[in-house]
Amino acid sequence: MYVDDSGTPSLKDDTSYYVISGVIMHIQDLHILGGKFAEFKKKYFVSNYKKDEIHVHEIYHGRNNFSELTLGEKYKILSALYNIINTMPFTAITVGIHKQGMEDQYPQWDIFNATWTFMIERYDMFLSDYSDPLGNLVIDESENFIQGTTVNILKEIFENGTNYKKINNINQEFSFFPSHNINGLQLADCISYCTLKALNTCDKFRSYWDITKSKLRNRNGNIRNNPISITELTTYKTTNDKLTKENVELQDTIRNLTEKIMLLTPIKDEKVGDYMSNIIVS
Are 170 and 139 contacting, i.e. CB atoms less than 8 angstroms apart?
no
User: Which is more confident, 102 or 237?
Assistant: 102
pLDDT in tens, 123-157: 999 998 877 679 999 999 988 787 668 999 999 99
Residue 183's nearest CA partner among 25, 75, 43 is: 25
Cα gap 158→3, rounded to integer Å: 17
3-state secondary structure of 86: helix
- Give the number of other Cβ atoms within 10 Å of residue 190's Cβ: 26
pLDDT in tens, 72-110: 888 999 999 999 999 999 999 999 999 999 999 889 999
> What's the pLDDT at 60?
85
* Beta strands at 228-230 and 222-223: parallel, antiparallel or unpaired: antiparallel
> What's the pLDDT at 10?
92
Are 229 and 93 contacting, i.e. CB atoms less than 8 angstroms apart?
no
Residue 110, phi then psi, degrees to nearest 5: -90, 130
> What's the pLDDT at 227?
57
Residue 272, phi then psi, degrees to nearest 5: -60, -40
pLDDT band at 282 (very low <50, low <70, confident <90, very high): very low
- Pick one of 3.40.50, 3.90.1720, 3.30.420, 3.30.300 as the CATH number of 2-233: 3.30.420
pLDDT in tens, 8-26: 999 998 889 999 999 999 9
Are 165 and 121 contacting, i.e. CB atoms less than 8 angstroms apart?
yes
Residue 99's nearest CA partner among 32, 172, 179, 8 is: 8
Residue ranges of E strands in 106-202: 138-140, 175-177
- Give the number of other Cβ atoms within 10 Å of residue 205's Cβ: 23
pLDDT in tens, 182-202: 999 999 999 999 999 999 999
pLDDT in tens, 55-66: 898 888 877 777
Are 92 and 212 contacting, i.e. CB atoms less than 8 angstroms apart?
yes
Task: Give per-residue burial for 147-186: e unless 16+ CB within 10 Å, then b.
Answer: ebebeebbeebbeeebeeeebebbeeebeeeebeebbbbb
pLDDT in tens, 104-128: 988 999 999 999 999 999 999 999 8
